[in-house]
Structure 1
């Protein structure tokens, strides 16, 4: 049965829509250019130039001395003559002299308001044809006009001339503007529609409706590099709560998350916490690092292990440089019995198990008896052990790792992964881990459309 999807205003994040528009700006530009070129090409292919030759005629009455009477009379005669020039009889005479069955063009007349002047024009596909047709009209109209007004005098005051340029220009200006509007509006509407109907998590309200797990907290977006020098050098790859420049709301979000997990895990005598994510770049390692720092700040003895052996990140986050022989992965893959080469960072009061290089045999490392023995031994010395795990949709390592954890949580980044995939990952953690606490919304920018409308 197909699931019905309802669009709710509180599930629409304007920033996500804007981001999609910016990312697809090249598509919008490409469509606009294509439509513009299409309209321009079509107008050039369908454009037929026309040439117009025009003569101006003054109509006067014989033997009429009254100026006002004469003007009224000649104005009436001009209106009648305007019809004479377009009569079928006159057209037939001109066609006969031209030797054609039908005139190549059209005859138009106009009486200049409040005057006894009128214009006669012939528009044709060629300048010579228009000029010749108009001359024949002027030569033949007396034979017809004498039957109507014998006392009328028609005098050409502006002779016709051969037109040197088309009288019609391609009427593409309006169509091009419409094309630009349509070419811009259509892709924008499509992108906006796809953005707001995409089955990702854009707001906390959407998470509560779409996700099956418990929402442990929301961590807002925080710039990694606060200073100009740091931005230029791109020094930091994560925003740590120990940085004095981070915002209060960012630090408070982690403190709240830490309080909730600390209370729950101590109450249930849990020590190993797995931090996972559905995909890469959801901020999983940053959440694990900051959670470890928050717990260490409470005088808890914390060990943070980088169990993402494919793409380790903890050593980069804490800017630790070690040799390959000191890697936690090297300890697991060899007969080394020194205890995993843990690094104690006095600055943070934190124990770390890091990796400088990536390892291919990740399943072998995670399912090894050596890792189980190591964790059991560390549980006796540590208050908490946090496992930074690989992305669940990229590798199956997390499922095997989850069996070793007492508790787990899933990091969900804003507008990153579909709700269906997130729920599948949470189901997997619920089955594999002793307990699944819920999910953490990470890197969320609050810009709900419903909040803005209410404001």
Structure 2
């Protein structure tokens, strides 16, 4: 049980958690603001300002000189303590209430002795500053009358006259409370989001993919910024990320070329030509992966055809910046001859579309696509089909019956493993062999197993026979070319 728990924690990626918090920043901000507003409402409705009027009296004995009182400080302090009890009794309260014309005293009476002195501090605290001041004044005007009946030898001398208090004696630091409430509310929301993220069933690491997904890990592609400067980010200069672009990093190009090598291996092993690239949902990077696979194969001096089979949302013409002369949908319907356009900049052949077709399933239900692929098998060495998300559209199953192999693109921390496995089951029902998953857009911490782990998944690992761990990229490419030559 303990090993299983450790393994589950190993499937979490801190960067994915931070990325989720970044995506939900507005939600965190809203939670903090709501908490601050609740605190403000609480302050306005629950806070009751209190005002305290105070006076300082010196306690001495009538028959003693000032010096003797100082020398006999302990006795004076005892007298002050006794007077404090008297002051806090109901006697003073009844006198003050009677003179104020109220049934009960509008304030709280307290008395305290300053340490090591014979000084007595009298205080009255009330909701209204005037009530506090008037009550204390009445107490000071009547303490002689009361003290004569209790202490005949005591003199109380007023040292500090009371005044109307100008500010509350129980001030509230509203700014501090609001800040703390905001931080507390934001922290609670962060905790909730982290709990949801930790408990989610998404794939965040390669170990998590192996454990959760019922398919091989075919390759890993790490996150790559397509707009690396602030200027290009603001302008969104690059609509996609192709391996031939100058902004592509060394690690990204290596991963793509090694992915192309593995596809070439898969083609030579099973005499396959048509590869279908799909995903579970949108925005998982399948179109970019399909385009880069096609480019990497074309650079081997092979004739490669890239077909944008996502008739719901064509994207390849945007990635390559190329508007096709003929729409793929017209070719499938037989309204245009079966022909591919040559993209000289990439040494690649293409069949693209630009228009969204709501009846993609009906369009692919006929034999039009089959005729296109029959022509392509005769003319091309490799055919890469960028299909619609298999988890959203049923016509992908029709394409799996026409293709030779399928690759499922799984974006890090995207859809749940349950939906991935449902899609895997659907793809396995087709005639095309599911080669495995391409773990895409992976962010990882340095020194983690997913951080450019040359010789591990995404590089040397393959499916089936003949593939091992730690295969060198150059020797791998040479072996693939030799195998293709023999076939």
TM-score, length basis structure 1: 0.89
Runs of 5+ unmatched residues, structure 2: 451-487
Distance 1:285 1:164 in 2: 72
Distance 1:248 1:222 in 2: 10
**Residue 45 of structure 1: aligned partner:** 45
Change beyond 3 A, Cα 1:428–1:113: same
2:121 to 98, 119, 122: 119
How many angstroms does 1:27 deviate by? Answer: 1.7
Residues 148-163 of structure 1: pairs in structure 2 closer than 5 A = 148-163=150-165
1:135 to 126, 137, 141: 137
Residues 8-407 of structure 1: pairs in structure 2 closer than 5 A = 8-65=8-65, 66-67=67-68, 68-98=70-100, 100-170=102-172, 172=174, 175-225=177-227, 231=233, 233-323=235-325, 326-336=326-336, 338=337, 340-407=338-405
How many angstroms does 1:88 deviate by? Answer: 3.1
Distance 1:82 1:417 in 2: 73
TM-score, length basis structure 2: 0.83
CA contact 1:7–1:197 (8 Å) conserved in 2: no
Distance 2:168 2:324 in 1: 81
What is the number of equivalent residue pairs in this alignment? 445
Change beyond 3 A, Cα 1:261–1:145: same
How many angstroms does 1:398 deviate by? Answer: 0.7
Secondary structure in 2 matching 1:237: coil
Distance 2:447 2:187 in 1: 21
Distance 2:366 2:444 in 1: 43
Distance 2:301 2:51 in 1: 93
Secondary structure in 1 matching 2:436: strand
CA contact 2:397–2:430 (8 Å) conserved in 1: yes
The farther-off stretch of 260-269 and 141-150 is 141-150
How many angstroms does 1:385 deviate by? Answer: 1.3
Change beyond 3 A, Cα 1:420–1:81: same
CA contact 1:303–1:382 (8 Å) conserved in 2: yes
CA contact 2:334–2:368 (8 Å) conserved in 1: no
Secondary structure in 2 matching 1:410: strand
CA contact 1:60–1:70 (8 Å) conserved in 2: no
Runs of 5+ unmatched residues, structure 1: none
Secondary structure in 1 matching 2:282: coil
Distance 2:246 2:173 in 1: 64
CA contact 1:13–1:448 (8 Å) conserved in 2: no
Change beyond 3 A, Cα 1:450–1:80: farther
How many angstroms does 1:229 deviate by? Answer: 6.8
Change beyond 3 A, Cα 1:124–1:381: closer
Distance 1:157 1:227 in 2: 73
CA contact 1:9–1:450 (8 Å) conserved in 2: no
Change beyond 3 A, Cα 1:210–1:145: same
- What is the Cα-based RMSD across aligned positions, in Å? 2.7
1:179-226 Cα shifts (integer Å, max 9, x gaps)? 233212100101111122221111111111110001101011112245
How many angstroms does 1:126 deviate by? Answer: 3.1
The farther-off stretch of 102-111 and 395-404 is 102-111
Distance 2:146 2:230 in 1: 90
How many angstroms does 1:439 deviate by? Answer: 0.9
How many angstroms does 1:228 deviate by? Answer: 7.1
Distance 2:173 2:227 in 1: 55
The farther-off stretch of 342-351 and 126-135 is 126-135
Distance 1:168 1:217 in 2: 66
Distance 1:261 1:180 in 2: 53
Change beyond 3 A, Cα 1:52–1:244: closer
Higher relative contact order, chain-length normalized (CA < 8 Å, sep 6+): 1
CA contact 1:328–1:353 (8 Å) conserved in 2: yes
CA contact 2:285–2:409 (8 Å) conserved in 1: yes
Change beyond 3 A, Cα 1:344–1:117: same
**Residue 467 of structure 2: aligned partner:** none
Secondary structure in 1 matching 2:429: helix
CA contact 1:14–1:448 (8 Å) conserved in 2: no
Secondary structure in 2 matching 1:403: helix
Change beyond 3 A, Cα 1:333–1:107: same
Change beyond 3 A, Cα 1:400–1:87: same
How many angstroms does 1:264 deviate by? Answer: 2.4
